[in-house]
Structure 1
Amino acid sequence: MLKKIPTGQVRIGMYVERFCGSWMQHPFWSRKLLVEDMQTLLRIQESSVEELIIDLSKGVDVSAPPSDPEVPPAPAFSEADVQNPEPALKPPAVALQRCSMADEVLRAQQIFRRGKQAVKDMFADVRLGQVVNAERLGELVGEMNESLSRNPHALISVARIKHKDEYTYLHSVAVAALMVGMARASGLSEPQVLEAGMAGLLHDLGKAAMPEAILNKPGKLTTAEFAVMQQHPVEGHRILLEWESASPAVLDVCLHHHEKVDGSGYPQQLVGEHISLLARMGAICDVYDAVTSNRPYKAGWGPAESLSRMASWHGHFDSELFQRFVRMLGIYPVGSLVRLASDRLGVVVEQGEGSLLTPRVRVFYSIRLGRAVPVQLVDLADAQEVERITGRENPDDWPFNNLDALWLPT
C-alpha cells in the first residue's frame, strides 16, 4: 500500500517508493530506498523535498513508534562559508567505506563509459527536439558523488584520460566529476553537491546546437568560427529554459562558465563576485579539463603543467577557489611526471594523506644513466624515505609513451 506523507514525518524503517517533485531536489541517485539509519534520514530532512511516497508493505507507517531523536534544522548555507579555505570544511553527508585507488579507478572507468553514452544520447535528443532523460543524468551524478566518497582522487584522475575523438562528450562528464569533487571539497550540502555535478554535466549543452562542421573541426577555429562557438552558452541556456527540472544554478553555470573575474570573459563580461559561486567553480573545472585533454588540433598538457600555467593567468579565475582546486587535485596531480632528488623520474600514482608535497610516485627512469630502471613505488610520506620531488617535468620533453599506464590498473 502506497501513502503520501510530508518529509517531516519520515522515520527510520520507512521504505521510500519515490520522492515528489523534481529529481534535482532529492540527494539520492535512486528514487527508491529504505531509510535504514540516521544518516539517510538526515539527508532526506536536509533536502528540499516536501513530500514523498512510502510503501507500507516494505516498511513502517507514520504511526510506528519513532526510533530516532528529533532532527535539528539544517544550517543555512552561506557563500562565505566556502570561500575561506581554512580551517578544513565540513564534508558532505555521503561517507561510504573508503577503498583503494586501484579498486575505485576500475569503478570510475565504468562511470565514464556510461557517462559518455548518456551525454551522447543527450546531445542527439536535443538535436532532434526530443525529451532528454533527466533521471538518467541524475543517477550518473549520484554515482560520481559516491565514487568520490570512496576515494577522492580516482574519478577526477580518470576524468583526464580521453581520446581526442571522445572530447566533446567526455568533457561534459569530466567537468561534472570535477565539479562534484570541488563542491565536496568546499563543504557544500548534499543537494548542492549534486546540483554542482549536474551543472557540470549540462554546462556545454549549447554545443548540441552548434554546426557540427565547426564543433568537430580537426584544426584551429577561424575568428568567424570562434565567434559562432562563443554562442554556445547562450544556446545552452535557451535550451535549458525549456526544461522544467533545470534549477537556476544549473542555468547560471551553463550561461556563465566562460566568464572571467576580470570581466574579459563572455557572454556578459561579468566581474568578480557578480559571477556566481558555481559559475566561478565551473570556469576552473572547464578550463582544466580542456587544457589537459587531447583534442584533434592540440595535445593536452600534463596535469602539473596545466595547474602551473593556469595559476599564471591572472584575472581568469577566482584565486581562493583556484587554490582550493589545487588542494583537491594535489600540487602534483595523479599522472604528473616529476623529477626526484636522486635524478630519477617518476609518475605520481596517488596523493598522500598529509602534505601535498609527498604523494606516492612510481619511479621508472634514471636521468644519470639515461635509461629505464626497474619500476619502484616510492611513498614520499614515509618518515624513513629520504627521496623528495625537486620539480615537475614536461612529458613533451621526454620520449616516453603512455605514462598513464604507470598508474592505471591493467
Structure 2
Amino acid sequence: MIKKIPSEAIRVGMFIHDLNVDWMNHPFVRNQFVITDDAAIAQIMATGVREVYIDTERGLDMPDAPTVEEVNAELDAQLIKIAEEPSPIIKVSFAEEMGRARKIHGQATNAVRMVMRDVRLGQAIELEGVAQVVEDITDSVLRNSGALVGLSGIKDKDEYTFLHSVSVCTLMVTFAQSLGLDKELIRLAGVGGLLHDTGKMKVPNEILNKPGRLTEAEFAIMRTHPEEGWQILREIDGLEDIPLDITLHHHERMDGTGYPHKLPGEQISRMAQMAAVVDVYDAITSDRCYHKGMPAPEGLRKLWEWSKFHFNPELVQAFMRTIGIYPVGTLVRLESGRLAVVIEQNEAAMLQPIVKAIFSTKSNTYITPQIIDLSRPMGKGGADKIVGHENPEKWQINIARFLFEGV
C-alpha cells in the first residue's frame, strides 16, 4: 500500500516509493529506496522534500497516514472546485490559429537556438530577434492561447532545452495575460521565460544531457545555471530587471528550500513565483532523456499538491484556470468509451472542453474524427463527458497528428 507521510515522520526501515520532489534533478541516484540509516533521512530533509510516499509492503508502515488513492481523491475534488472559475476569453478558433501558431513556434525555437549558440561561443546576444518572437507569441496567445499551449506539449526530448524555453515563454505570456497584467509586463514575462535557462549553456553537455540521474556533484553544477544566466544577461544593454529576476530566481521556493539564494516567499517577486510554477509544470510534463513526462492533468495535480510548501497556491490556482484542468493536447476518455484530444477550452466550463473524438476503446480502432463541445446538451454536438485522462503511449496515439489535422 502506498501512503503519504511528512518527511519528519520518516524512519529507518521505511521504503521510499516517491520522493515527491518538485524539481527534476534531485540529488538521489534512485527515486525508490529503503531507508537504512539516519544519514539518508537527513539528506532527504536537507533537499527540501517536505512529504514523501512510502510503500508499506516493502518497509515500515505509518498506520494513520492517508493512502495515495485518498490523497488523489482529495486533490481531484479541490481541482474541480478551482475549475468552477471562468477561463480566458478566446477570440478565434483553435483551427484558425494553429497554422500561425506552428510558424511562430518554429521561429521561436530557432531564436532560442541562436541565443544558446551565442552563449556557447561567448558572443553577444541579440535581443532584436527575442523581442519579435515574444511579440508574435503574445499576439497568438491573445487570439487563442490553446494553439501554442498545445504545441508546447509536443517535444523532441533531444531538443528539450530549446523547446522548454519556448514553452515557458508561451506559458508565461498566457499566464500574465490571464492575470490582467498590462502589455509591457506581459512582454517582460515572455522575455524572461524565453531566456530563463540561458545559464544552462555554461553547464557541460555531459551533465546537461546525461541519460540518467545526476550525482550530487553534478547536481551542484546544474544548480549554478540561474546565476550563470543572470551574469550573462546582465551584460546586455537594455535588458530590463524582470527578465533578469526570472532568470535568477525561477528555482526559488516559497518555503525557502529553493536555490540559488533560498529566499522565503515574501522575498520572491510575483513574476519569479509565476515562473517557478510554469517552469516546473513544463518540466514534469515533458519527456527527458532520463524521464517520461506525466500527462498534463497529473502535472497540474502535482503542482497543486506541492503548492502547500513550494509554490504560491493562489498563483497555482490561477495557472490551472489559465490552461484548463484538461489542457489543449490532453488525451481524455469519454463516458461513451471513446478517446478524444482536447482542442479548445470552454470559457465557462473548464471540465467540459471542446474535444476531437478519434478512437474507440470498445472496438480498439480509430474512428472518423468528431468535434464535440462537451458543454452542449444532448442532440447538439454534446451528450458525452470526460471520465478521466489517458496516456497516449498506452494507445500508441500521436497527439500531434490530430492537433494538426485539417490545419
Query: TM tier, shorter chain?
Result: 0.7 to 0.9
Corresponding residue for residue 356 of structure 2? 362
> In structure 2, do the counterparts of structure 1 residues 273 and 409 end up closer, same or farther at CA, with 3 Å as the change threshold?
farther
Say if 1:89 and 1:302 are closer, same or farther in 2 by CA, change over 3 A.
closer
Q: Report which structure shows greater RCO (CA 8 Å, sep ≥6).
A: 2
Aligned to 1:375: 369
User: How far, CA to CA, are the matches of 1:407 and 1:236 in structure 2?
Assistant: 34
Q: How far off is 1:369 after superposition? A: 4.0
Contact preservation (8 Å) 2:254, 2:264: yes
RMSD, matched Cα: 2.4
Equivalent position amino acid for 2:174 in 1: G
**Residue 331 (1) aligns with residue 328 (2):** no
% identical equivalent positions = 44
1:249 aligns with 2:245: no
Shift of 1:143: 0.6
Q: Is 1:404 matched with 2:397?
A: no
* 2:136 maps to 1:127: no
- The CA distance in 1 between the partners of 2:293 and 2:204, in whole Å, is 24
- Provide, for residues 362-396 of structure 1, a one-character-per-residue CA deviation record: whole Å limited to 9, x for no partner: 22333344444443222112133321112223345
Superposition deviation, residue 331 in structure 1: 0.8
- CA-CA distance at 1:277 after TM superposition: 0.5
Residue in structure 2 matching 1:116, options 93, 109, 115:
109
User: Structure 1 CA distance, aligned partners of 2:110 and 2:366?
Assistant: 39
8 Å Cα contact 1:89-1:186 kept in structure 2: no
CA distance in 2, matches of 1:218, 1:329: 30
The yes-or-no answer on 1:322 pairing with 2:316 is yes
Alignment of 1:205-284 (within 5 A): 205-284=198-277
* Greater mean deviation of Cα atoms: 284-293 or 342-351: 342-351
Cα deviation code 1:227-278 (max 9, x no counterpart) = 1000000111111221222212111111110011121111111122311011
Secondary structure of the structure 2 residue equivalent to 1:311: helix
Q: Does 1:353 align with 2:358?
A: no
Q: Tell me the matched-pair count.
A: 321
- Residue 300 of structure 1 deviates from its aligned partner by 1.8
- Cα distance in structure 1, aligned partners of 2:369 and 2:103: 28
Partner in structure 2 of residue 390 of structure 1: 387
Residue deviations 1:111-167 (CA, integer Å, cap 9, x gap): 121112211111121222222111111111011111111112111221121211111
Amino acid aligned to 2:204: P
CA contact (8 A) 1:233 1:254 kept: yes
- Is 2:341 the counterpart of 1:340? no
**Aligned CA distance change for structure 1 residues 150 and 265 (closer, same or farther; 3 Å):** same
C-alpha displacement at 1:176, in angstroms? 0.7
Residues 194 and 86 (structure 1 numbering): CA distance in 2 closer, same or farther, change over 3 Å?
A: farther
**What does residue 196 of structure 1 align with?**
189
Structure 2 vs 1, CA of residues 268 and 230 (structure 1 numbering), >3 Å: closer, same or farther?
same
Q: Distance in 1 between matches of 2:196 and 2:326?
A: 27
Larger mean Cα displacement after TM superposition, 181-190 or 368-377: 368-377
Assess if the C-alpha contact under 8 Å between 2:334 and 2:387 holds in 1.
yes
Q: Which of residues 291, 311, 317 in structure 1 aligns to 2:304?
A: 311
Match of 2:137 in 1: 144
Distance in 1 separating the partners of 2:84 and 2:245: 27
Q: Does the Cα contact within 8 Å between 1:206 and 1:233 map onto a contact in 2?
A: yes
In structure 2, the partner of 1:74 is none
- Cα distance in 2, alignment partners of residues 334 and 173 from structure 1: 16
Query: Could you tell me how far 1:281 is from its partner in structure 2?
Result: 0.6
The 1-side partners of 2:399 and 2:100 are apart by 21
Q: How much does 1:345 deviate?
A: 2.2
Residue 178 (structure 1) aligns with? 171
User: For 1:152, what is the secondary structure of its paired residue?
Assistant: helix
Alpha-carbon distance in 1 for matches of 2:232, 2:191: 15
For 2:263 and 2:182, the matched residues in 1 are separated by 26
TM-score by structure 2 length?
0.74
- Report the 3-state secondary structure (helix = DSSP H, G, I; strand = E; otherwise coil) of the residue aligned with 2:309: coil
Structure 1 contact 305–394 (Cα < 8 Å) conserved: no
Q: Which residue of 2 aligns with 1:106?
A: 99
1:285 aligns with 2:244: no
**Cα distance in 2, alignment partners of residues 179 and 392 from structure 1:** 25
- Partner in structure 1 of residue 51 of structure 2: none
In structure 2, C-alpha distance between the alignment counterparts of 1:382 and 1:401, rounded to whole Å? 26
Query: For the residues of structure 1 that align with 2:399 and 2:143, how far apart are their CA atoms?
Result: 25
In 1, the alpha carbon distance for the partners of 2:113 and 2:400 equals 25
Whether the 8 Å contact between 1:360 and 1:377 is mirrored in structure 2 is: yes
TM-aligned CA distance change 1:377 to 1:127, over 3 Å: same
For structure 1, which runs of at least 5 residues remain unmatched after alignment? 1-84, 92-96
Q: Is the 8 A contact 2:88 2:322 kept in 1?
A: no
Task: For residue 183 of structure 1, give the secondary structure of its aligned residue in structure 2.
Answer: helix
Structure 1 or 2: more helix by fraction: 2
Q: Distance in 1 between matches of 2:368 and 2:88?
A: 42
**8 Å contact 1:207–1:232 — kept in the other structure?**
yes
Task: Supply the AA of the counterpart residue of 1:117.
Answer: N
Contact kept, 8 Å, 1:105 with 1:409, in 2: the verdict is: no
Identify if the C-alpha distance between structure 1 residues 102 and 90 changes in structure 2 by more than 3 Å, giving closer, same or farther. Answer: closer
Counterpart code for 1:256: H
